[in-house]
């Protein structure tokens, strides 16, 4: 593992802050959702923080991301505002989609977050569309599409990679490979699960298989892919191995063995990053404790803001509906 001292100090602290923001937001989201404070479904990103943060730290505000049903972490990493996000999760008018999207379709165009998505594999064609628009407009923007290992067996994955490769589109396809697709162990339906990045060969583009629990490795791999994309050299596929802490959705039965979960939890991306920073004297335990507290307070304020925000009015239900 590379020394953190070789990296820009500001980058190291942004990596840490980004991961902590997702961790505290999602732990709180899990708690308030299970307490019955919100409607619908919610899938949290706990455990996978290093992927969204490592990837998005390479992006500019006008770059785009597409996301999945597990989208809160991506939105936070792209600069999502806690209050607008909690407002949305509570279905309030102060939410980033005015309370109409909830968790599964949360979006914020002002930060280039084109949307979480309830349809598995559907972020990829949207990313290709955004990439094509960049090509037509002749800008230097890029798109990062996040999706799970389960989504790599959807037709949309293959169609999207083929089109992005053929047109040299500036899209980085990032697989969040937690080895599970709801209650299906993905290895039982996919022979190349470990090295899903090798599927890039079929489309003539570069592919990487990396440790998605190491924010530095994710950052550096996506950095290369973003450089290629901005230089007009086309897409890259990045397979990040990771572990999700909770069951598929909040309230779901977890199909995994408790011993396996505990073993995986002992390699937590954030804890290991804190240990690395402490070992290299880049942070003190006191500062770590203060950071956890500071970020939890921001989340708590966002929850209070959302709880006190108005619900949409029934008579406004047809507003912003484009088709009848
Ligand atoms: C087209 C489609 N098929 C099935 C589902 C039901 N479904 C929701 S999430 C999911 C599993 C997705 O697994 P993966 O892509 O690996 O993402 P993860 O949940 O592991 O982050 C499935 C099958 C769906 N929402 N959309």
Domain boundaries, the chain: 4-306
- 185-224 b/e (C-beta count within 10 Å ≥ 16 → b): ebeeebeebeebbebbeebebbbbbbbbbbbbbbbebbee
Residue whose token pair is 């949290």:
44
Ligand 1 pocket, CB under 6 A: 68-70, 118-120, 147-151, 176, 178, 180-182, 248
Q: Alpha-carbon distance 113 to 56, whole Å?
A: 11
pLDDT score at 193: 94
Rg of the chain, C-alpha, whole Å: 19
Going residue by residue through the chain (324 aa), what tens digit of pLDDT does each one get? 889 999 999 999 999 999 999 999 999 999 999 999 999 999 999 999 999 999 999 999 999 999 999 999 999 999 999 999 999 999 999 999 999 999 999 999 999 999 999 999 999 999 999 999 999 999 999 999 999 999 999 999 999 999 999 999 999 999 999 999 998 999 999 999 999 999 999 999 999 999 999 999 999 999 999 999 999 999 999 999 999 999 999 999 888 889 989 998 999 999 999 999 999 999 999 999 999 999 999 999 999 999 999 999 999 989 988 876
Kindly give the number of the ligand 1 atom that is closest to the alpha carbon of 70: 21
Testing ligand 1's pocket by substitution, the residue of 126, 181, 247 carrying the most ligand atoms inside 8 A of its CB is 181
Of 313, 299, 240, 321, which is closest to residue 89 (Cα–Cα)?
299
Of 111, 105, 75, which is closest to residue 91 (Cα–Cα)?
105
In the CATH scheme, what is the code of domain 4-306? 3.40.50.970
Q: How far is the CA of 183 from the centre of ligand 1 (A)?
A: 10
Cα-to-chain-centroid distance, residue 263: 23
> Whose C-alpha lies nearest to ligand 1, atom 8?
120
Q: How far is the CA of 156 from the centre of ligand 1 (A)?
A: 13
Cβ atoms of 210 and 153 within 8 Å: the answer is no
pLDDT score at 158: 98
pLDDT score at 1: 80
**What is the total residue count of the chain?**
324
Pairing relationship of beta strands 184-185 and 180-181 according to DSSP bridges: antiparallel
pLDDT score at 324: 65
How open is the CA angle 222-228-231, to the nearest 5 degrees? 140
Cβ atoms of 14 and 219 within 8 Å: the answer is no
- Give Cα separations from 89 to 98, 111, 233 (angstroms): 10, 18, 38
H/E element, 177: strand 171-177
């Amino acid at each position: 593992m590379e020394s953190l001292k070789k990296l820009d100090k500001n980058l190291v602290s942004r990596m840490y802050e980004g991961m902590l923001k997702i961790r505290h937001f999602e732990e709180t989201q899990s708690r308030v959702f299970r307490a019955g404070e919100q409607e619908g479904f919610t899938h949290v990103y706990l455990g996978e923080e290093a992927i969204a943060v490592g990837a998005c730290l390479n992006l500019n505000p006008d770059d785009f991301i597409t996301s999945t049903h597990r989208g809160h972490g991506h939105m936070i990493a792209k600069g999502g505002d806690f209050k607008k996000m909690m407002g949305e999760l509570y279905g309030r008018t102060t939410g980033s989609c005015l309370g109409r999207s909830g968790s599964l379709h949360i979006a914020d165009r002002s930060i280039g977050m084109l949307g979480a998505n309830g349809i598995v594999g559907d972020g990829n064609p949207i990313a290709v569309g955004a990439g094509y628009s960049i090509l037509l407009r002749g800008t230097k923007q890029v798109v990062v599409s996040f999706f799970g290992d389960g989504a790599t067996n959807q037709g949309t994955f293959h169609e999207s990679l083929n089109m992005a490769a053929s047109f040299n589109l500036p899209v980085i396809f990032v697989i969040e490979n937690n080895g599970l697709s709801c209650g299906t162990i993905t290895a039982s339906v996919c022979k190349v699960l470990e090295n899903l990045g090798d599927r890039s060969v079929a489309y003539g583009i570069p592919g990487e298989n990396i440790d998605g629990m190491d924010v530095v490795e994710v950052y550096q791999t996506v950095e290369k892919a973003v450089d290629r994309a901005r230089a007009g050299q086309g897409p890259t596929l990045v397979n990040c191995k990771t572990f999700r802490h909770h069951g598929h959705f909040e309230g779901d039965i977890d199909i995994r063995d408790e011993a396996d979960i505990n073993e995986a939890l002992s390699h937590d991306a954030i804890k290991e990053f804190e240990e690395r920073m402490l070992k290299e004297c880049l942070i003190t335990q006191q500062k770590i404790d203060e950071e956890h507290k500071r970020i939890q307070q921001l989340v708590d304020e966002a929850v209070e803001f959302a709880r006190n925000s108005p619900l949409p009015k029934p008579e406004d239900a047809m507003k912003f509906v484009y088709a009848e």
